[in-house]
Amino acid sequence: MSNSVGEFDLAAYHVQLIPIDQIELDKYQRTTDPKRVSLIAQEFDWDAFDPIKVSMRNGRYYAVDGGHRVQVLRLLGVKFVPAVVVEGLVYSQEARLFARKGNRKNVKPITASDELRALYEAGHPEIRGLIDTLGEYGFDVYADFKAYDTLRRVYSRYGKHRLGNVAAVLRIANVPSIPGWLVESLAEIVDRFAGRIDFVRLGTKIRDNWSDIDAEKRRKAPTITHGVHRGSEIILGYYNWNLRASRLEF
């Protein structure tokens, strides 16, 4: 019989009651939703309560699983919380445990942004590079983008430098709630025409024609033709409009 759970030693776990005012939520935790906390509190049932999971690190207790339950119990005035305690983890290991919540049964799935934040805090090199690169151009990944999987795919395929090029164009374009197809299309364009394309013109054309570009993208299918994204073709069409010299063609 195995004596470990994943990468963690089973012997490091034990169950105890912890004073609720000693339990902390670290940065990898999702932001608790006050409305959800209030609703759970109204229907709270100890018989359905699962112990929270906490990490004891440097003499302090950090909730790895059960942030909303902790807030519910605080709201109800509970003084002690039953918890499964694990000792010996470092911060990055706690963050990885939290990120794995999305793959477990009977646990409310974490969102894509929750997972991204936890992996960043865990020191995941790709996620760190992606978020830090976009941050250099003033973007908040969690607030400004819709498709996190697309961001990861673009970073993996094109690298930090090209994602930086895309971010520079997007900064000029000033598109609200940036869709994944736009990020992928721009990555394809700046990579294909590196050294020949004018980023300022590209961003300006997107900014000035965004409603039409977005509407045209929604109307046209399929997504990819002849290996080129439809969004890339549409954007390049606006870039080339009234451009007599230095036109770019796929």
pLDDT tens for residues 173-196? 999 889 999 999 999 999 999 999
Instruction: Quote the pLDDT of residue 5.
Output: 47
d(C-alpha 230, C-alpha 236), whole Å: 10
What percent of the chain has a predicted confidence (pLDDT) above 90? 54
Instruction: Quote the pLDDT of residue 239.
Output: 96
Of 40-44, 68-72, 85-89, 157-161, least confident by mean pLDDT is 40-44
Instruction: Quote the pLDDT of residue 226.
Output: 54
Instruction: Quote the pLDDT of residue 1.
Output: 40
- Residue in the block written with tokens 């709201």: 75
| Tens digits of residue pLDDT in 125-141 | 999 999 999 999 999 99
Q: Residue 241's closest CA among 215, 206, 214, 217?
A: 206
d(C-alpha 115, C-alpha 119), whole Å: 6
Band of the pLDDT at 103, cuts 50, 70, 90? very low
Quick check: helix, strand or coil at residue 14?
strand
Of 1-5, 42-46, 67-71, 106-110, least confident by mean pLDDT is 1-5
Contact predicate 170/203, CB 8 Å: yes
What percent of the chain has a predicted confidence (pLDDT) above 70? 88
Across all residues in the chain, what is the average pLDDT? 86
Instruction: Quote the pLDDT of residue 146.
Output: 80
Instruction: Quote the pLDDT of residue 246.
Output: 84
State the Rg of the chain over Cα.
23
Query: Highest mean pLDDT: which of 26-30, 61-65, 73-77, 199-203?
Result: 199-203
Band of the pLDDT at 33, cuts 50, 70, 90? confident
Band of the pLDDT at 30, cuts 50, 70, 90? confident
Please report the domains of the chain, with CATH numbers, ordered by start residue: 12-111 (3.90.1530.10), 125-240 (no CATH)
Cα–Cα separations (whole angstroms), residue 155 to 3, 121, 161, 199, 250? 38, 18, 9, 19, 22
Query: What is the number of other CB atoms lying within 10 angstroms of the CB of residue 237?
Result: 13
Burial of 147 (0-12, 13-18, 19+ CB in 10 A): middle
Residue 105 has pLDDT above 50, yes or no: no
